[in-house]
Amino acid sequence: MRVGVLGATGRMGLATCKAVLDAPDLDLVAAVARASGVGRPLRELIPSAPEGLRVGEGLADLLAAEAEVVVDFSRPEATAAAVEGLLGEGVHLVSGTTGLPPEVMDDLGNLAGKADHGNAVWAPNFALGAVLAMHFAAVAGRFYPAAEVIELHHQGKADAPSGTALRTARAIAAARNRERRVPGNESVPGVRGGEVDGVRVHSVRLPGLVAHQEVIFGGRGEVLTVRHDSLDRTSFMPGVLLAVQAVTTRPGLTVGLEPLLGLA
């Protein structure tokens, strides 16, 4: 399968390029990034990259390389352009870009899988353990009166809260039969975090972190903690490769890895 990567020189993009290069049934045919690095041989960043493969600057490079699937770890504006420019050309899209505005998600749902259009998989997190932790949190949300989500990421993450935290909080809220709130006053505004559908969410951004999330449930005389830690970006690659292999056979838009893992 011919694969292109959008956002190829970022942390997740480089990890994706390496994973595609290491996969025996995938062929990395294009790598596209923003202005920094454009025109540079990819081999300068990844020694195992094919000779002659240079970092491109736009969707035209992905189309010219005849990529069948494009993996997108970029910015919301780049993802919006990819939705418009790739799906209509029959190219399948696997995206992990978070912070997408509602209209871009609507476009994904409306365009993916239409006649002669490519399919799409969008997920807030490709780490298998993170997906399982979200699933476990949704199950626990049925049984506990209170829950709070604490997500911790590297200081370069553009959005807060993370897409994983938003999805987790909404899943907990959806599992409840009524909204549950823990009363309390803030002597320092914002100290209790933000609120997503009645679930408190706290975001931490620090150097040294990669991607971590802890969900704490409180009940009578007990607490339950569901935690996942990604210690290296290679933790996301099995999920990315799973989505790349699956997207061609899943018409329309698939949200999250849960359907691919039989958890939907």
Distance of CA 170 to CAs 141, 152, 177, 220, Å? 10, 18, 13, 23
pLDDT for res 187: 85
Are 213 and 165 within 8 A, CB to CB? yes
Does the structure show a pLDDT above 90 at 35?
no
**pLDDT at 93 exceeding the cut of 80:** yes
| 153 in catalytic set | yes
Catalytic residue among 153, 202, 212, 228: 153
The per-residue pLDDT for range 128-163, each reduced to its tens digit, is 999 999 999 999 999 999 999 999 999 999 889 999
Nearest Cα to Cα of residue 86 among 103, 102, 65, 100: 65
User: Catalytic pick from 18, 117, 135, 157?
Assistant: 157
What was the pLDDT predicted at 182? 64
Residue-level length of the chain: 264
pLDDT value at position 180?
62
State the CATH class of domain 128-231: alpha beta
Domain ranges of the chain: 2-122+234-261, 128-231
Residue listed under structure tokens 């997207």: 247
Position 179 pLDDT exceeds 70: no
* 157 classed as catalytic: yes
* Strand intervals (E) in the chain: 2-6, 27-32, 55-56, 69-72, 92-95, 120-122, 146-153, 194-196, 199-205, 211-219, 222-230, 253-255
Q: Tell whether the model's pLDDT for residue 21 goes beyond 70.
A: yes
212-239 pLDDT per residue, tens: 999 999 999 999 999 999 999 999 999 9
Class of CATH domain 2-122+234-261: alpha beta
The 10s digit of each residue's pLDDT in 183-200 is 678 889 889 999 999 999
